[in-house]
Amino acid sequence: MSVSLPSAIIRRGIFHSLRFELAFVLMLGMIVPVLVLAVFEVGISQGPSRVVNWFVQPVVTNSILGVTVSTIVSIAILRRLRFYPGVAVARSILPVMGMSFGLLIAVIAVLRIEYSNRLIIICFLCVLLARFAVTAMRSRAKGVLYFIVPGGRVDLVRELRSAPVFVMDQPSLDSLPDCAIVADLYADHDPEWERFLAEAAISGRPVYHYKQVWEAETGRVQIEHMSENGFGALVPSFAYQKMKRAIDVVLCIFALPFIIPLIAICAVAIKLDSEGPVFFRQRRVGFRGNEFRVLKLRTMSEGHNGENRDLSITRSGDKRVTKVGGFLRRTRLDELPQVINILRGEMSWIGPRPEAVSLSKWYEGEIPFYRYRHIVRPGISGWAQVNQGHVAEVDEVDEKLQYDFYYIKNLSYWLDIIIVLRTAKVVLSGFGSK
Protein backbone atom coordinates (compact mmCIF):
# COMPACT_ATOMS: atom_id res chain seq x y z
CA MET A 1 0.00 0.00 0.00
CA SER A 2 1.47 3.34 -0.99
CA VAL A 3 0.19 6.70 0.22
CA SER A 4 1.80 10.06 -0.52
CA LEU A 5 2.01 11.97 2.74
CA PRO A 6 4.01 14.96 4.00
CA SER A 7 7.01 13.69 5.90
CA ALA A 8 6.20 16.03 8.80
CA ILE A 9 2.98 14.09 9.39
CA ILE A 10 4.46 10.61 9.55
CA ARG A 11 7.77 11.30 11.28
CA ARG A 12 8.14 12.03 14.97
CA GLY A 13 11.75 13.17 15.39
CA ILE A 14 14.01 14.14 18.25
CA PHE A 15 12.02 17.34 18.91
CA HIS A 16 9.21 15.19 20.34
CA SER A 17 11.36 13.25 22.80
CA LEU A 18 11.30 13.90 26.53
CA ARG A 19 15.10 13.89 26.70
CA PHE A 20 15.38 16.67 24.14
CA GLU A 21 12.69 18.74 25.82
CA LEU A 22 14.27 18.45 29.28
CA ALA A 23 17.77 19.16 27.97
CA PHE A 24 16.68 22.10 25.81
CA VAL A 25 14.45 23.77 28.40
CA LEU A 26 16.83 23.26 31.33
CA MET A 27 19.83 24.43 29.33
CA LEU A 28 18.33 27.59 27.77
CA GLY A 29 15.79 28.24 30.50
CA MET A 30 17.97 27.67 33.56
CA ILE A 31 21.65 26.84 33.15
CA VAL A 32 22.52 29.61 30.67
CA PRO A 33 20.62 32.44 32.43
CA VAL A 34 21.93 31.37 35.87
CA LEU A 35 25.52 31.38 34.59
CA VAL A 36 25.02 34.79 32.97
CA LEU A 37 23.48 36.12 36.19
CA ALA A 38 26.42 34.73 38.21
CA VAL A 39 28.96 36.46 35.97
CA PHE A 40 26.94 39.67 36.06
CA GLU A 41 26.63 39.76 39.85
CA VAL A 42 30.12 38.47 40.77
CA GLY A 43 32.11 39.85 37.87
CA ILE A 44 34.17 37.90 35.36
CA SER A 45 37.44 39.21 36.80
CA GLN A 46 36.81 37.91 40.32
CA GLY A 47 37.88 34.35 39.54
CA PRO A 48 36.15 30.95 39.68
CA SER A 49 36.24 30.73 43.49
CA ARG A 50 34.03 33.83 43.87
CA VAL A 51 31.55 32.38 41.36
CA VAL A 52 31.44 29.09 43.29
CA ASN A 53 30.86 30.98 46.53
CA TRP A 54 27.96 32.79 44.88
CA PHE A 55 26.37 29.47 43.88
CA VAL A 56 26.59 27.96 47.39
CA GLN A 57 24.70 30.80 49.01
CA PRO A 58 21.36 29.50 50.40
CA VAL A 59 19.46 32.25 48.59
CA VAL A 60 20.86 31.01 45.26
CA THR A 61 20.80 27.23 45.83
CA ASN A 62 17.22 27.35 47.15
CA SER A 63 16.09 29.34 44.13
CA ILE A 64 17.85 27.04 41.65
CA LEU A 65 16.40 23.93 43.29
CA GLY A 66 12.90 25.40 43.34
CA VAL A 67 13.07 26.55 39.72
CA THR A 68 14.35 23.13 38.62
CA VAL A 69 11.48 21.30 40.33
CA SER A 70 8.89 23.76 38.99
CA THR A 71 10.27 23.45 35.46
CA ILE A 72 10.24 19.64 35.49
CA VAL A 73 6.70 19.60 36.93
CA SER A 74 5.45 21.98 34.24
CA ILE A 75 7.07 19.88 31.49
CA ALA A 76 5.51 16.70 32.90
CA ILE A 77 2.04 18.30 33.01
CA LEU A 78 2.30 19.73 29.50
CA ARG A 79 3.41 16.41 28.04
CA ARG A 80 0.55 14.64 29.76
CA LEU A 81 -2.00 17.18 28.49
CA ARG A 82 -1.16 16.21 24.90
CA PHE A 83 -3.09 12.97 25.34
CA TYR A 84 -6.43 14.64 26.07
CA PRO A 85 -8.82 15.79 23.33
CA GLY A 86 -9.18 19.41 22.39
CA VAL A 87 -6.14 20.56 24.34
CA ALA A 88 -3.96 23.12 22.58
CA VAL A 89 -0.64 22.65 24.37
CA ALA A 90 0.71 26.02 23.18
CA ARG A 91 -2.19 27.79 24.90
CA SER A 92 -1.61 25.82 28.09
CA ILE A 93 2.09 26.71 28.48
CA LEU A 94 1.64 30.04 30.25
CA PRO A 95 -1.16 28.85 32.63
CA VAL A 96 0.70 25.65 33.54
CA MET A 97 4.00 27.45 34.11
CA GLY A 98 2.26 30.18 36.06
CA MET A 99 0.64 27.53 38.24
CA SER A 100 3.88 25.59 38.89
CA PHE A 101 5.95 28.70 39.64
CA GLY A 102 3.06 30.12 41.67
CA LEU A 103 3.16 27.02 43.87
CA LEU A 104 6.92 27.54 44.25
CA ILE A 105 6.35 31.09 45.53
CA ALA A 106 3.62 29.82 47.87
CA VAL A 107 5.93 27.16 49.34
CA ILE A 108 8.71 29.72 49.78
CA ALA A 109 6.34 32.13 51.52
CA VAL A 110 4.87 29.49 53.86
CA LEU A 111 8.23 27.95 54.82
CA ARG A 112 10.00 31.33 54.88
CA ILE A 113 12.83 30.06 52.68
CA GLU A 114 15.53 32.41 51.46
CA TYR A 115 15.31 33.03 47.72
CA SER A 116 16.35 35.37 44.93
CA ASN A 117 13.54 37.32 43.24
CA ARG A 118 15.77 38.21 40.31
CA LEU A 119 16.89 34.63 39.68
CA ILE A 120 13.36 33.18 39.82
CA ILE A 121 11.88 35.86 37.55
CA ILE A 122 14.67 35.58 34.96
CA CYS A 123 14.48 31.78 34.95
CA PHE A 124 10.69 31.86 34.66
CA LEU A 125 10.86 34.09 31.57
CA CYS A 126 13.66 32.03 30.00
CA VAL A 127 11.94 28.69 30.68
CA LEU A 128 8.73 30.13 29.22
CA LEU A 129 10.52 31.20 26.04
CA ALA A 130 12.37 27.88 25.79
CA ARG A 131 9.12 25.91 26.13
CA PHE A 132 7.45 28.01 23.44
CA ALA A 133 10.50 27.38 21.25
CA VAL A 134 10.05 23.61 21.66
CA THR A 135 6.42 23.95 20.60
CA ALA A 136 7.49 25.98 17.56
CA MET A 137 9.92 23.22 16.57
CA ARG A 138 7.05 20.74 16.69
CA SER A 139 4.61 22.99 14.86
CA ARG A 140 4.94 21.12 11.55
CA ALA A 141 3.93 17.80 13.11
CA LYS A 142 0.22 17.16 12.58
CA GLY A 143 -0.31 14.66 15.37
CA VAL A 144 -1.30 11.02 15.14
CA LEU A 145 -2.02 9.54 11.73
CA TYR A 146 -4.79 6.88 11.67
CA PHE A 147 -5.03 4.01 9.19
CA ILE A 148 -8.39 2.23 9.31
CA VAL A 149 -9.02 -1.47 8.78
CA PRO A 150 -12.36 -1.72 6.91
CA GLY A 151 -15.22 -3.57 8.55
CA GLY A 152 -17.52 -3.15 11.52
CA ARG A 153 -18.34 0.35 12.75
CA VAL A 154 -15.10 2.15 11.90
CA ASP A 155 -17.00 4.66 9.76
CA LEU A 156 -17.43 6.63 12.98
CA VAL A 157 -13.69 7.37 12.95
CA ARG A 158 -13.76 8.35 9.27
CA GLU A 159 -16.00 11.28 10.19
CA LEU A 160 -13.35 12.80 12.47
CA ARG A 161 -11.92 16.15 11.42
CA SER A 162 -9.35 16.47 14.20
CA ALA A 163 -6.80 14.02 12.73
CA PRO A 164 -5.76 12.66 9.30
CA VAL A 165 -7.60 9.38 8.59
CA PHE A 166 -6.97 6.90 5.74
CA VAL A 167 -8.75 3.66 4.87
CA MET A 168 -6.57 0.66 4.06
CA ASP A 169 -7.29 -1.32 0.88
CA GLN A 170 -5.09 -4.35 1.54
CA PRO A 171 -3.76 -6.12 4.68
CA SER A 172 -0.06 -5.34 4.32
CA LEU A 173 2.52 -3.56 6.47
CA ASP A 174 4.71 -2.86 3.44
CA SER A 175 5.24 0.88 2.84
CA LEU A 176 2.90 1.68 5.72
CA PRO A 177 4.04 4.94 7.38
CA ASP A 178 4.52 5.54 11.08
CA CYS A 179 0.87 5.50 12.18
CA ALA A 180 -1.77 4.09 14.49
CA ILE A 181 -4.02 1.33 13.17
CA VAL A 182 -7.72 1.49 13.98
CA ALA A 183 -10.19 -1.38 13.72
CA ASP A 184 -13.48 -2.58 15.12
CA LEU A 185 -11.93 -5.34 17.20
CA TYR A 186 -15.33 -6.90 17.86
CA ALA A 187 -16.21 -7.23 14.16
CA ASP A 188 -15.84 -10.47 12.17
CA HIS A 189 -12.89 -9.69 9.89
CA ASP A 190 -11.62 -11.92 7.10
CA PRO A 191 -8.68 -14.17 8.15
CA GLU A 192 -6.13 -12.06 6.23
CA TRP A 193 -7.18 -8.93 8.15
CA GLU A 194 -7.06 -10.82 11.44
CA ARG A 195 -3.51 -11.93 10.63
CA PHE A 196 -2.64 -8.35 9.65
CA LEU A 197 -3.84 -6.98 13.01
CA ALA A 198 -1.84 -9.62 14.87
CA GLU A 199 1.28 -8.88 12.80
CA ALA A 200 0.86 -5.13 13.31
CA ALA A 201 0.65 -5.57 17.08
CA ILE A 202 3.70 -7.88 17.10
CA SER A 203 5.69 -5.32 15.07
CA GLY A 204 5.11 -2.73 17.78
CA ARG A 205 2.57 -0.57 15.97
CA PRO A 206 -0.28 0.82 18.09
CA VAL A 207 -3.58 -0.92 17.31
CA TYR A 208 -6.74 0.71 18.72
CA HIS A 209 -10.39 -0.17 18.95
CA TYR A 210 -12.36 2.45 17.03
CA LYS A 211 -14.26 3.60 20.13
CA GLN A 212 -11.01 4.45 21.93
CA VAL A 213 -9.97 6.71 19.06
CA TRP A 214 -13.37 8.38 18.75
CA GLU A 215 -13.53 9.09 22.48
CA ALA A 216 -9.95 10.40 22.61
CA GLU A 217 -10.46 12.73 19.63
CA THR A 218 -13.92 14.05 20.58
CA GLY A 219 -13.78 14.00 24.39
CA ARG A 220 -17.13 12.23 24.46
CA VAL A 221 -18.40 8.73 25.26
CA GLN A 222 -21.26 7.28 23.24
CA ILE A 223 -24.25 6.42 25.40
CA GLU A 224 -25.77 3.45 23.60
CA HIS A 225 -24.79 1.61 26.76
CA MET A 226 -22.99 2.55 29.94
CA SER A 227 -19.25 2.38 29.42
CA GLU A 228 -16.85 0.88 31.95
CA ASN A 229 -13.79 2.80 33.13
CA GLY A 230 -10.15 1.76 32.99
CA PHE A 231 -10.68 -0.65 35.91
CA GLY A 232 -13.47 -2.45 34.05
CA ALA A 233 -16.12 -1.12 36.42
CA LEU A 234 -18.98 1.38 36.33
CA VAL A 235 -18.01 2.90 39.69
CA PRO A 236 -15.15 5.46 39.53
CA SER A 237 -12.11 4.99 41.74
CA PHE A 238 -13.11 5.44 45.39
CA ALA A 239 -9.51 6.34 46.31
CA TYR A 240 -9.43 9.20 43.82
CA GLN A 241 -12.86 10.44 44.88
CA LYS A 242 -11.71 10.60 48.51
CA MET A 243 -8.52 12.42 47.53
CA LYS A 244 -10.56 14.80 45.36
CA ARG A 245 -12.88 15.52 48.28
CA ALA A 246 -9.92 16.37 50.53
CA ILE A 247 -8.49 18.69 47.87
CA ASP A 248 -11.90 20.37 47.48
CA VAL A 249 -12.05 21.21 51.18
CA VAL A 250 -8.46 22.50 51.32
CA LEU A 251 -9.02 24.71 48.26
CA CYS A 252 -12.22 26.09 49.80
CA ILE A 253 -10.38 27.07 52.97
CA PHE A 254 -7.64 28.84 50.99
CA ALA A 255 -10.15 30.47 48.60
CA LEU A 256 -12.60 31.84 51.17
CA PRO A 257 -10.53 34.97 52.06
CA PHE A 258 -10.58 35.95 48.37
CA ILE A 259 -14.14 34.82 47.59
CA ILE A 260 -15.89 36.62 50.47
CA PRO A 261 -14.85 40.15 49.37
CA LEU A 262 -15.85 39.35 45.77
CA ILE A 263 -19.26 38.13 46.90
CA ALA A 264 -19.71 41.31 48.98
CA ILE A 265 -18.95 43.52 45.95
CA CYS A 266 -21.32 41.50 43.76
CA ALA A 267 -24.03 41.68 46.45
CA VAL A 268 -23.88 45.48 46.50
CA ALA A 269 -24.10 45.59 42.68
CA ILE A 270 -27.11 43.24 42.69
CA LYS A 271 -28.93 45.36 45.28
CA LEU A 272 -28.29 48.56 43.33
CA ASP A 273 -29.37 46.98 40.04
CA SER A 274 -32.70 45.33 40.94
CA GLU A 275 -35.05 44.52 43.78
CA GLY A 276 -34.95 41.15 45.47
CA PRO A 277 -32.65 38.97 47.54
CA VAL A 278 -28.93 38.76 46.86
CA PHE A 279 -28.76 34.99 46.92
CA PHE A 280 -30.74 32.47 44.91
CA ARG A 281 -31.46 28.93 46.12
CA GLN A 282 -32.75 26.17 43.89
CA ARG A 283 -33.37 22.45 44.29
CA ARG A 284 -30.89 20.45 42.24
CA VAL A 285 -30.12 16.75 41.87
CA GLY A 286 -26.62 15.90 43.03
CA PHE A 287 -24.34 13.11 44.20
CA ARG A 288 -26.00 9.66 44.08
CA GLY A 289 -29.27 11.23 43.06
CA ASN A 290 -29.77 13.14 46.31
CA GLU A 291 -31.49 16.51 46.16
CA PHE A 292 -29.87 19.62 47.62
CA ARG A 293 -30.26 23.38 47.41
CA VAL A 294 -27.61 25.04 45.29
CA LEU A 295 -26.56 28.55 46.36
CA LYS A 296 -25.93 31.22 43.73
CA LEU A 297 -25.91 34.99 43.39
CA ARG A 298 -29.22 36.16 41.93
CA THR A 299 -28.95 37.03 38.23
CA MET A 300 -32.65 37.20 37.33
CA SER A 301 -35.54 39.47 38.21
CA GLU A 302 -37.78 36.42 38.78
CA GLY A 303 -36.94 33.52 41.06
CA HIS A 304 -38.11 29.90 41.09
CA ASN A 305 -37.33 26.81 43.13
CA GLY A 306 -36.59 24.43 40.26
CA GLU A 307 -39.99 22.71 40.19
CA ASN A 308 -41.17 24.38 36.96
CA ARG A 309 -39.39 22.95 33.92
CA ASP A 310 -39.99 25.94 31.64
CA LEU A 311 -38.75 28.42 34.25
CA SER A 312 -35.66 26.27 34.87
CA ILE A 313 -34.52 26.69 31.27
CA THR A 314 -32.44 29.80 30.58
CA ARG A 315 -32.57 30.68 26.89
CA SER A 316 -30.43 33.05 24.83
CA GLY A 317 -31.56 36.64 25.37
CA ASP A 318 -33.70 35.66 28.37
CA LYS A 319 -35.42 38.87 29.51
CA ARG A 320 -35.40 37.73 33.14
CA VAL A 321 -31.60 38.21 33.30
CA THR A 322 -30.70 41.58 34.84
CA LYS A 323 -27.86 43.83 33.61
CA VAL A 324 -25.62 42.90 36.53
CA GLY A 325 -26.83 39.31 36.23
CA GLY A 326 -25.65 39.14 32.64
CA PHE A 327 -22.14 40.17 33.70
CA LEU A 328 -22.14 37.69 36.58
CA ARG A 329 -23.19 34.88 34.24
CA ARG A 330 -20.56 35.69 31.62
CA THR A 331 -17.78 35.77 34.22
CA ARG A 332 -19.26 32.87 36.27
CA LEU A 333 -19.08 35.02 39.41
CA ASP A 334 -22.67 34.01 40.21
CA GLU A 335 -21.31 30.54 41.05
CA LEU A 336 -18.99 31.75 43.86
CA PRO A 337 -21.41 31.06 46.77
CA GLN A 338 -21.35 27.38 45.82
CA VAL A 339 -18.15 27.12 47.83
CA ILE A 340 -20.62 26.54 50.70
CA ASN A 341 -22.12 23.59 48.80
CA ILE A 342 -18.60 22.21 48.36
CA LEU A 343 -17.85 22.46 52.08
CA ARG A 344 -21.11 20.65 52.81
CA GLY A 345 -20.06 17.79 50.55
CA GLU A 346 -22.89 18.41 48.08
CA MET A 347 -20.63 19.58 45.26
CA SER A 348 -17.04 19.62 44.02
CA TRP A 349 -14.99 22.25 42.20
CA ILE A 350 -14.95 20.00 39.12
CA GLY A 351 -17.73 17.68 37.96
CA PRO A 352 -20.94 17.50 35.88
CA ARG A 353 -23.14 20.54 36.49
CA PRO A 354 -26.14 19.79 38.76
CA GLU A 355 -29.51 20.19 37.04
CA ALA A 356 -32.74 21.55 38.49
CA VAL A 357 -35.05 18.83 39.82
CA SER A 358 -37.65 19.41 37.10
CA LEU A 359 -35.08 19.26 34.29
CA SER A 360 -33.38 16.20 35.76
CA LYS A 361 -36.70 14.29 35.88
CA TRP A 362 -37.44 15.33 32.30
CA TYR A 363 -34.03 14.19 31.04
CA GLU A 364 -34.29 10.89 32.92
CA GLY A 365 -37.55 10.17 31.12
CA GLU A 366 -36.14 11.04 27.69
CA ILE A 367 -32.49 9.89 27.80
CA PRO A 368 -31.36 6.38 28.78
CA PHE A 369 -28.65 6.19 31.46
CA TYR A 370 -29.01 9.89 32.31
CA ARG A 371 -29.12 9.08 36.01
CA TYR A 372 -25.64 7.54 35.81
CA ARG A 373 -24.09 11.04 35.76
CA HIS A 374 -25.00 11.34 39.46
CA ILE A 375 -22.34 8.75 40.35
CA VAL A 376 -19.87 11.59 41.01
CA ARG A 377 -20.34 14.88 42.83
CA PRO A 378 -21.58 17.71 40.60
CA GLY A 379 -19.17 20.58 40.07
CA ILE A 380 -18.98 24.32 39.62
CA SER A 381 -17.24 23.66 36.31
CA GLY A 382 -17.07 20.49 34.23
CA TRP A 383 -15.91 18.84 31.02
CA ALA A 384 -19.22 19.53 29.27
CA GLN A 385 -19.23 23.20 30.29
CA VAL A 386 -15.76 23.96 28.91
CA ASN A 387 -16.51 22.10 25.66
CA GLN A 388 -20.17 22.84 25.02
CA GLY A 389 -21.39 25.65 27.27
CA HIS A 390 -24.90 25.98 28.71
CA VAL A 391 -27.57 23.81 27.07
CA ALA A 392 -31.11 22.79 28.01
CA GLU A 393 -32.91 21.09 25.10
CA VAL A 394 -33.01 17.27 25.06
CA ASP A 395 -30.98 16.86 21.85
CA GLU A 396 -28.25 19.14 23.25
CA VAL A 397 -28.34 17.41 26.63
CA ASP A 398 -27.77 14.08 24.88
CA GLU A 399 -24.42 15.42 23.61
CA LYS A 400 -23.70 17.01 26.98
CA LEU A 401 -24.21 13.60 28.59
CA GLN A 402 -21.57 12.15 26.27
CA TYR A 403 -19.10 14.70 27.67
CA ASP A 404 -20.17 13.87 31.23
CA PHE A 405 -19.68 10.14 30.62
CA TYR A 406 -16.21 10.84 29.21
CA TYR A 407 -15.33 12.68 32.41
CA ILE A 408 -16.67 9.89 34.62
CA LYS A 409 -14.92 7.18 32.60
CA ASN A 410 -11.58 9.04 32.60
CA LEU A 411 -11.81 10.55 36.08
CA SER A 412 -8.30 11.71 37.03
CA TYR A 413 -6.41 14.72 38.32
CA TRP A 414 -4.97 15.23 34.81
CA LEU A 415 -8.44 15.75 33.38
CA ASP A 416 -9.32 18.01 36.31
CA ILE A 417 -6.23 20.13 35.58
CA ILE A 418 -7.33 20.52 31.95
CA ILE A 419 -10.82 21.60 33.05
CA VAL A 420 -9.33 24.16 35.46
CA LEU A 421 -7.14 25.63 32.69
CA ARG A 422 -9.99 25.75 30.20
CA THR A 423 -12.35 27.19 32.82
CA ALA A 424 -10.03 30.19 33.10
CA LYS A 425 -10.41 30.70 29.33
CA VAL A 426 -14.20 30.33 29.62
CA VAL A 427 -14.33 32.95 32.39
CA LEU A 428 -12.31 35.41 30.31
CA SER A 429 -14.27 34.81 27.09
CA GLY A 430 -17.77 34.28 28.53
CA PHE A 431 -18.11 31.12 26.38
CA GLY A 432 -21.40 29.26 26.76
CA SER A 433 -23.16 31.70 29.09
CA LYS A 434 -26.87 32.54 28.73
For residue 57, the tally of other CB atoms under 10 A from its CB is: 12
| Inter-CA distances, 140 with 6, 84, 214, Å | 10, 20, 23
Distance, in Å, from the CA atom of 77 to the CA atom of 100, rounded to the nearest integer, reads: 10
Residues 432, 258 contacting (CB under 8 angstroms): no
- Which residue ranges in the chain fall short of pLDDT 70? 1-16, 43-48, 82-88, 138-144, 162, 223-235, 302-318, 390-395, 430-434
Largest CA distance in the chain: 81
Question: Between β-strands 348-350 and 379-381, what pairing exists: parallel, antiparallel or unpaired?
Answer: parallel
Q: What is the pLDDT of residue 141?
A: 47
Question: How far, in Å, CA of 208 to CA of 182, rounded?
Answer: 5
Spell out the residues 6+ positions from residue 241 whose beta carbon is closer than 8 angstroms to its own.
Answer: 376, 377, 411
Q: Which of 342, 347, 348, 328 is nearest to 280 (CA)?
A: 328
| Residue 5 pLDDT | 39
**pTM of the predicted model as reported, rounded to 2 decimal places:** 0.68
